[in-house]
Amino acid sequence: MTRPRFFLVAPLFVLGCSETVQEIPPPDPVPTSACAESLDLVFGAAEARTPLGGLSVAVDGACNTILAGTTQVAIDFGGGALGSVDAPFAFVVKFDASGKHVWSRELPEGASFEGKNVLAVDDQGSILLAGSLSADVDLGGGPLGGEYERANHPFLLRLDADGNHVSSRRLPGNLPADVNYSGGFHRVVEDVTFDAEGNFVIAGRFIGDLDLGGVTLTSVPQTWDEFFTNYKPDVFIAKYDTKGELVWAKSYGGDAIDLPAGLDVTPDGDTVLAYNQTSIVETAGEPTGLHVKRFSPSGEVVWSKVFSDSGLGGMGGSLAVTDDGGLVLGGEGRLVFDGIGTYEPAFVGRLDADGKPVLGASVTGNASAVVSAVAPEGSAGIRAVGWFEDTLLVHGKTMAGSNGGLDGFDVHVEWDESANTVSTFGAEADELALAMAQSKEGDRVIVGVEGPLVHPYESLSPYSQGTRIFLRRRR
């Protein structure tokens, strides 16, 4: 990651008695940031109860913040109300560095965002969004077509920095009726990211067939007996060039549920994917556990690691690369680093550029805790956000107490426990941090939902019904 450097151009001189001139070097540059100040923004009505999905955030080089998600209530981000209570709708909004509304738009009914990280911004400020279609819609380039009986199709949408349509496409799949299946075929893009050259990579989960642009992948069916075949999710990953043409695509999975756990691109253009493998070796070709794979720009596997006895819970995982080609990961579940430790029920971990574990930690609460997003910090640290109930512990050490209900947290983790820090947010109402993005200078933008929340079926899902969306920026 390249960071701006600023130098004094006027040298200082000292004259000695011998009248020789000595040039004094300028002081070390002081990092600057386009993010001028911290932000605390809240959107939505206090009395509303709205389902929320796909909440994602990105920051461009000028510290503009782009926010996307799906909700079902009229909401005003500063440019007038979007949506209504009649049907769910997907939204995209851009704020400038001071938090002022720049533009916002609502996608047509039938388009939604469901993944954990559906939004990416390239170096020119153009925006890539990935979502799901349940109907034939026009995202700005004409109707995308398709049939949707008990099935959906992913879509990719490119916008310029001003929010104007650049391109849109549907990634088609088959219908359950095509294989005489009585269930449904669901396909979701969970993660999107750009590399330094403007190519982009997507990853997600799919059932049935998925055409990624000339390469069709098929999920492995679950055959229970000669009379019944079930279909379950497999993992896909695909890379596209700057023109949106497919470069390569791969899938992973066997006869059980297999789910993606994070995606990012290293500074030298390699792609790193994490996914949860629950299928048996005979059907998947790989052992169960948490898999991390690094691919070259052309799609060859550089290295592949599996952390056996590791696995993710319902909240999934998060991954981000480091400046030196390593990565950090986190999530809800269990992470086992052989010879180092076991971390649960929520965890963070850091690997070096060769996939070797170098740091792990448990993040937990007396009642519950979830790590929703991670980012690298410094040469060896991890930044993580999420939420907890009652008491927050890191490395088994009590770090904070809840102000009531669920509180959000922002944690910095090192091997040296004395270097660990935590800040929390939330009053008597619930507050869940769901996503995080970093500027090039390290400023963090955290987004989530604040309540009180209504938890369907006693679940702590990010898709719980909340009242307002919050956006915070911290140095």
Q: What six digits make up the tokens of 146?
A: 């398709």
Query: What does the pLDDT profile of the chain (475 residues) look like in tens digits?
Result: 433 333 223 332 233 333 333 344 444 444 456 786 889 999 987 666 667 789 999 999 999 999 999 988 889 999 999 987 778 899 999 999 999 999 999 999 999 999 999 999 999 999 999 999 999 999 999 999 999 999 999 999 999 999 999 999 999 999 999 999 999 999 999 999 999 999 999 999 999 999 999 999 999 998 777 778 899 999 999 999 999 999 999 999 998 999 999 999 999 999 999 999 998 898 888 999 999 999 999 999 999 999 999 998 877 899 999 999 999 999 999 999 998 999 999 999 999 999 999 999 999 987 789 999 999 998 899 999 999 988 999 988 999 998 878 899 999 999 888 899 999 987 777 888 999 999 888 889 999 988 766 554 444 444 456 678 999 998 7
65 in any annotated domain: no
Give the model's pLDDT for residue 20.
35
Q: What is the DSSP string of 108-133?
A: PTTEE--SSB-EEE-TT--EEEEEEE
Longest dimension (CA), the chain: 100
Task: Determine the pLDDT at residue 422.
Answer: 94
The token duo for 129 is 């969004």
* Model pTM score: 0.90
Q: Does any domain span residue 212?
A: yes
Helix, coil or strand: residue 24: strand
- Whether 115 is covered by a domain: the verdict is yes
pLDDT at 474: 84
Flag whether 340 is in a domain: no
Residue 5 lies in a domain: no
The verdict on residue 268 lying in a domain is yes
AA letter at 465:
Q
How many structural domains compose the chain?
1
State which residues form the domain around 301: 107-308
Q: What are phi and psi of 417, to 5 degrees?
A: -60, -25
SS3 at position 348: strand
Residue-level pLDDT at 406: 86
Burial class (CB in 10 A: 0-12, 13-18, 19+), 16: exposed
Please give the sequence-ordered ranges of beta strands (E in DSSP) within 366-439, or none if there are none: 368-377, 381-394, 397-413, 421-425, 431-438
The tokens describing 60, both together, are: 């461009």
With respect to residue 335, please indicate whether it lies within any of the assigned structural domains: no
For residue 157, being part of any structural domain is answered with yes
